[in-house]
Amino acid sequence: MIRFYQHRKIFFAISILLILSSIVAAFINGIQLDIQFKGGTIVKYTYSGQINAEQAEKIVEQAVGRTTNCQLQSNMAKDEQMLIVSLASNEALTSQEQETITSVLTKAFPDAKLALSESLTVEPFIGRHFFINGMIAIGLSFLLILVYVGLRFKNIGGLSAGAMAIVALLHDALIVTGAFIIFKIPLNDSFIAAILTIIGFSINDTIVIYDRIRENERLLGKKVSTEELVDTSITQSMTRSINTNVAVFMSITVVYIFAQIYDIGSIRAFALPMMFGIISGCYSTICIAGPLWTMWQNHKQKVKSAHA
Amino acid sequence: MKSKPVFFIIVLLTAALFLLAVFGLKIGNFELKGADKMRYGIDIRGGVEATYEPKDLDRAPTESELQAARAILETRMDASNITDRDVTVDKSNGKVIVRFPWKSDEADFDPQKAVSELGETAKLTFRDPDGNIVLEGADVKKSSAQIQQNNMQPVVTLELSNDGAVKFAQATARLIGQSISIYMDETLISAPVVRSQITGGNAEITNLESLEEASALSNKINSGALPFSLVVKNLNIISPTLGSNALSVMVMAGKVAFALVCLFMLLYYRIPGLVACIALLLQVTGQLLALSIPQFTLTLPGIAGVILSIGMGVDANVIVSERIKEELNTGKTLRSAINSGFERAFSSVFDGNITVMIVAIILIIFGSGSMLSFGYTLLCGVIMNFVAGVTASRLMIRSLSNFKALQRPQYYGAKEAVK
């Protein structure tokens, strides 16, 4: 048996430190919303040869009269260069305006063989709607999980078990958000999906441990203290927790490595924070949710005996 | 002893289903037509997704107006030979959403131009045989499709404005026995023959084949009377080269992830590990079939969902295998260890999977665009996990444990010392 409860303060300190560093990173890097959430337009072109980004910026700004930001990016795997034109705007860029951008750029850089690669336009209003929807989805998932755990684990104090599981989930959600901020990945719908997946995955982990506590309580009954009960249960399910996490971590890492080598931005931005979330999920389940729940139970007993 | 062949039956069944699912995939890759052709999102096959909204309209558009707007877009796509498309009307939000692929052989195709042309105001004209315009869209108040009471024939009725009624009366007087051609932009949509002079502003077009044809025509005519033009609010364009490259990369990533997870399971859990690999293949097969049978759109995040659930899918097997190992170490016989291992693991597999399902369903309900596919593949993965990771695995392990050569507890993870 590993004494998780005894060492809980170390675990809590590690978690608080990690979450604090996410918050510090948020102040340093700022939280960027992708145009999917804040609205605006991104047009990407592939090209060869030379393009001056500042010059391109001026040309586009003149043509459509909106604040423009142009960036150049080269892709190692495909020997291709990209010109990324992003326009923040209060109103979505019309498709005619996008056509204009393409034609002025083609005229300005006739030898660059500009070709449209990707284009995304989102109305700010719709973007806000997406963002709010995503937040509702995350909130709803917390609520439903709390209700489900509360109902299914009634005999080990379901609601408190659910509440502690939610604390662990919030921990994971913060770590994933931190990963997005530290790696400067703008938040978009893959952020919502990553958070939800980690929530689902981490609670799955926690439930396996709760299930073991439920079973051990039946077997060991009142013979052992809550501490011992929880520590035994966690120790018993630990090989499983670690092995499952190895399998999931391996899969998502393979996805990340391939997305990195072949430069698939959308998948990379989703897989990287997920890798952190998986480690965090495994950690929070073992080191946070269990000890927290034990503290809660101990506290309840103390109150009870004080009244008696 | 009877259950010995069960393992081989499940293996054969899994292999057969897998080949079926992959065969469908292959057809998709070669772009052969078939019922099991995968349907890829625009982020994989390259394409355009545009959301049109009425321009400068201070009220919500009515359903018939939206249908008319849809008719405009469809006619225009017909005219530009965009046949493989998908136009949906979002009634509650007053939008029309258009999706069409951008094929890799279309080098000179300009998607931005196509999208802006699609949204232009439709110009509806009624022309005499010499090409002179006798009536315009604004002259038509309303058009509708009906079945005529007396002879059960489908007709399109036109209600003209006062101005239009006068013009139409003059034209029909002049053109009896000849046809009046109806154009949307420069596309001929109908050429009814004038039987008699029509006064009073109500006309009928007869000789239509079906009610569907009649309502299609009436929608097109209504589009000319639309009080608004369409403007693109959300636009997403992805070039075909970008997409197809991403697909092959992700498929490769899936294979590597599958191989690694299988290797890990085999090395760590031996016989239960082997069973887990087969169960995993069954799970992925189920996910592929769940995508191809209802032709659900598969996007890149959807493939990521499949790969992620390869990792998550072994969880049920890991829990069961760990339990079997524990039971064996307490000195139980193989048969009873397997039975109680599955029994005791069930509740945690069940509760764990239900919570992932809750999250996947939330993703499907709230997920926008390409993330919808992620939620769907994740959900299918969890459901298939019940079938494969619990039921099929149990049958397979039981069957294998009936072979004399496979009865050593060490093959199931027991410590060497325990007999």
Q: What is the ipTM of this complex?
A: 0.87
The predicted pLDDT at position A141 comes to 92
The predicted pLDDT at position B240 comes to 80
Q: Which of A120, A254, A270 sits opposite B260 (nearest CB)?
A: A254
Place of tokens 């675990």: A11
Instruction: Measure Cα distances from A88 to A34, A37, A99, A123 in Å.
Output: 10, 12, 17, 10
Indicate yes or no: CB of A267 within 8 angstroms of CB of B300: yes
Q: Strand, helix or coil at A42?
A: strand
| pLDDT tens digit at each of 308 positions of chain A | 888 888 899 999 999 999 999 999 999 988 888 888 888 888 989 888 888 889 988 998 888 888 888 888 876 556 678 898 988 766 777 878 888 888 899 888 888 888 888 888 888 888 888 889 889 999 999 999 999 999 988 888 778 889 999 999 999 999 999 999 999 998 988 888 889 889 988 998 899 999 999 899 888 877 888 899 999 999 999 999 999 999 999 999 999 999 988 888 888 888 999 999 999 999 999 999 989 999 998 888 888 888 86
Q: Which of B112, B246, B257 sits opposite A251 (nearest CB)?
A: B257
Indicate yes or no: CB of B326 within 8 angstroms of CB of A236: yes
Q: Does B363 touch chain A (CB under 8 A)?
A: yes
**Nearest C-alpha in B relative to A119:** B237
Q: Which residues of A touch B385 (CB under 8 A)?
A: none
- Nearest-angstrom CA–CA distance, B42 and A78: 21
Contact assessment for residue B46 and residue B239, using Cβ atoms and an 8 Å cutoff = yes
Indicate yes or no: CB of B307 within 8 angstroms of CB of A119: no
Indicate yes or no: CB of B347 within 8 angstroms of CB of A145: no
Q: Which residues of B touch A133 (CB under 8 A)?
A: 366, 368
- For residue A39, which of A132, A135, A133, A123 has the smallest C-alpha distance? A123
Contact assessment for residue B51 and residue B369, using Cβ atoms and an 8 Å cutoff = no
Phi, psi values for residue A32, rounded to 5°: -95, 135
Q: Which residues of A touch B358 (CB under 8 A)?
A: 141, 144-145, 148, 200
Indicate yes or no: CB of B237 within 8 angstroms of CB of A118: yes
What one-character-per-residue DSSP string does B312-347 give? HHHHHHHHHHHHHHHHHHTT--HHHHHHHHHHHHHH
- Nearest-angstrom CA–CA distance, A161 and A210: 8
- Nearest-angstrom CA–CA distance, B215 and B126: 18
Our CA-based measurement puts residue B38 at a distance from the nearest CA of chain A, in whole angstroms, of: 20
Contact assessment for residue A53 and residue A69, using Cβ atoms and an 8 Å cutoff = no
Place of tokens 């139970």: A297
- What's the CATH number of domain B6-38+244-412, 1.10.150.110, 1.20.1640.10, 1.10.10.10, 3.40.630.30? 1.20.1640.10
The predicted pLDDT at position B36 comes to 47
Indicate yes or no: CB of A211 within 8 angstroms of CB of B348: yes
How buried is residue A147: exposed, middle or buried, by Cβ count under 10 Å (0-12/13-18/19+)?
Answer: middle
Indicate yes or no: CB of B366 within 8 angstroms of CB of A137: yes
How buried is residue A61: exposed, middle or buried, by Cβ count under 10 Å (0-12/13-18/19+)?
Answer: middle
Q: Which residues of A touch B241 (CB under 8 A)?
A: 117
The predicted pLDDT at position B308 comes to 87
Q: Which of A95, A102, A207 sits opposite B355 (nearest CB)?
A: A207
Indicate yes or no: CB of A123 within 8 angstroms of CB of B365: no
Indicate yes or no: CB of B301 within 8 angstroms of CB of A212: no
- How do the domains of chain B map onto residue ranges? 6-38+244-412, 47-121+229-238, 124-223
Indicate yes or no: CB of B311 within 8 angstroms of CB of A252: yes
Q: Which of B197-215 are b and which e, b meaning 16 or more Cβ less than 10 Å from the residue's Cβ?
A: ebeebebebeebeeeeebb
Q: Which residues of A touch B236 (CB under 8 A)?
A: 119-121
The predicted pLDDT at position B376 comes to 93
Indicate yes or no: CB of A258 within 8 angstroms of CB of B249: yes
Q: Does B259 touch chain A (CB under 8 A)?
A: no
Strand partners, B50: B98, B235
Q: Does B226 touch chain A (CB under 8 A)?
A: no
Indicate yes or no: CB of B359 within 8 angstroms of CB of A252: no
Our CA-based measurement puts residue A188 at a distance from the nearest CA of chain B, in whole angstroms, of: 10
Our CA-based measurement puts residue A254 at a distance from the nearest CA of chain B, in whole angstroms, of: 6
The predicted pLDDT at position B211 comes to 85
* Element at A182 (helix H, strand E): helix A158-182
Contact assessment for residue B401 and residue B335, using Cβ atoms and an 8 Å cutoff = yes
Q: In order of start, what are the domains of chain A with their CATH numbers? A: 8-33+126-301 (1.20.1640.10), 40-122 (3.30.70.3220)
Q: Does B182 touch chain A (CB under 8 A)?
A: no
**Nearest C-alpha in A relative to B322:** A240
Place of tokens 């500009």: A114
Our CA-based measurement puts residue A285 at a distance from the nearest CA of chain B, in whole angstroms, of: 13
Q: Which residues of A touch B246 (CB under 8 A)?
A: 262, 264, 267
Q: Does B290 touch chain A (CB under 8 A)?
A: no
Q: Which residues of B touch A270 (CB under 8 A)?
A: 301, 304
- Nearest-angstrom CA–CA distance, B180 and A54: 57
Q: Which of A244, A254, A270 sits opposite B315 (nearest CB)?
A: A244
Indicate yes or no: CB of A118 within 8 angstroms of CB of B366: no
Indicate yes or no: CB of B358 within 8 angstroms of CB of A141: yes
Q: Which of A200, A212, A252 sits opposite B355 (nearest CB)?
A: A200
Q: Which of B237, B264, B301 sits opposite A193 (nearest CB)?
A: B301
Q: Does B236 touch chain A (CB under 8 A)?
A: yes
Q: How far apart are the first and last CA of chain A?
A: 32
Specify the CATH class of B47-121+229-238 in words. Answer: alpha beta
Tell me the count of A-B CB pairs closer than 8 A: 226
| Amino acid at site B343 | E
| pLDDT tens digit at each of 419 positions of chain B | 457 889 999 999 999 888 877 775 555 554 433 334 677 888 888 888 888 888 877 888 888 888 888 888 888 888 777 778 888 898 888 889 998 888 766 667 788 888 888 877 777 889 988 888 888 888 888 888 888 888 888 889 888 888 888 988 888 888 888 888 988 888 888 888 888 888 888 888 888 888 888 888 888 888 777 777 788 888 888 888 777 778 888 889 999 999 999 999 999 998 999 999 999 999 999 998 888 777 788 888 888 889 889 988 899 999 999 999 999 998 889 999 999 999 989 988 999 899 999 999 998 988 766 678 889 999 999 999 988 988 999 999 999 988 888 888 888 877 765 44
The predicted pLDDT at position B30 comes to 47
- What's the CATH number of domain B124-223, 3.40.50.300, 1.10.260.40, 2.60.40.10, 3.30.1360.200? 3.30.1360.200
Contact assessment for residue A181 and residue A31, using Cβ atoms and an 8 Å cutoff = yes
Our CA-based measurement puts residue B52 at a distance from the nearest CA of chain A, in whole angstroms, of: 11
